[in-house]
Chains A and B, each alone.
Chain A
Amino acid sequence: MFEIFLARYVYFFVVVLLAIGLYGMLAHRNLVKKIIAMLIFHTAIFIFFIEGSVKDDAEAPVILPGREVVAADYVNPLPHLLILTAIVVGAGIIGVAFALLLRLHRAYGTLDEEAILGIIGSELPDHAASSPEASSPPTSSSAVETDPGGGE
């Protein structure tokens, strides 16, 4: 029984972390909280992969000179590569998500999902009249013109 627990507890904890992340993404109404939940979800996937690279009695995959190389002495390096790539791409995802959040905040003045949906819902019948974006076309065109200096 205890051996089964030792062999399996990783999967249990990874599933718990995934469930926490999924619940956070669905239940929270603040978009920053949703991104925090997404990060917890994808960190759980990283842990799953790295736990899959572990071998009993193995070392870090750096070959020591002057010793015969036996694959069983070193942990599997391939999941490490996948997760290195995934972490870096994850940073790209966060960058794009934050750019979209900044833009949402400029347009609606809040990062609360239900408030944003409420504003969009109330705009639908007469969106030309009293929306917060009514003054946006002139500002956006002027922003595009003045941008090359400000953005660098």
Chain B
Amino acid sequence: MIWQLDLLFFVILVVLALLALRVRNLMAAVAILATFSLMVAVMFGAMAAVDVAFVEAVLGAGLTGILFIILIRDTGERAAELESKRPVILLLPLIAVFVGLMVFASSGLPDRGDPDAPAHTHVSPDYIEGALVDSRTPNVVTAVLADYRSIDTLGEVIVIFTAGLAVLLVIRTMPGREPDPAPGRLDGEGDVT
């Protein structure tokens, strides 16, 4: 993709991330987070990852925002205290060490857009060239997800089922529960995904 556009998106993302954490009103923070996810989805689309862009727009920008709004409406928590009593002096060296480690680790990674990067030369060409012949599916992502690697996708469904089950158990055994519809909507979350 065009690198200037990519750079612009990254700057927007950093600003939105800082704003989402900085703003005191939780509803505003959730709105900014949904904008962040939508920007990420647009960025994925620009990087030719169309399937990921769809899923990020639906789940990241849509469903996550709705769940946040249900949570905030249900708990009545509207504003967050900004500053922790924990001293920032302790945190900054930790973040600096983390950033240093990550930058050090990224020095071994391939350049952006390099067609000979190790990730592009191992099994990936076989999947791309075989998808249409083996599964009659032009979309390689669909072919791998639902055909070559369908057992792994079944495993993913089990993970989502377990998450839905965990939500049900936590909500149902909740002490002092009032009869309102919001927890029921949270239960359905496992089925939606």
Chain A residues with CB under 8 Å of chain B are 6-13, 15-24, 26-30, 32-33, 36-37, 39-40, 43, 46-47, 50-56, 58-65, 69-72, 74-81, 83-85, 87-96, 98-103, 105-107, 110-112, 114, 133, 135-137, 139-140, 143-144, 146-147, 150-152
Which chain B residues (23-82) contact chain A, with CB distance < 8 Å? Answer: 26, 29-30, 33, 36-37, 40, 43-44, 47-52, 55-56, 59-60, 63-64, 67-68, 70-72, 74-75, 77, 80-82
Tally chain B residues at the interface, Cβ within 8 Å: 108
A53, B49: Cβ atoms under 8 Å?
Answer: yes
Given the known A-B contacts A61-B139, A77-B124, are A43 and B51 also in contact in the complex, defined by CB atoms under 8 Å? no
Given the known A-B contacts A11-B106, A36-B21, A136-B175, are A50 and B44 also in contact in the complex, defined by CB atoms under 8 Å? yes
Chain B residues with CB under 8 Å of chain A are 1, 3, 6-7, 10, 13-14, 17-18, 20-21, 26, 29-30, 33, 36-37, 40, 43-44, 47-52, 55-56, 59-60, 63-64, 67-68, 70-72, 74-75, 77, 80-86, 88, 91, 94-95, 98-99, 102-103, 106, 109, 111-115, 117, 119-120, 123-125, 127-129, 131-132, 138-141, 144-145, 149, 152-153, 156, 159-160, 162-164, 166-168, 170-177, 179, 183-184, 186-187, 189-190, 192-193
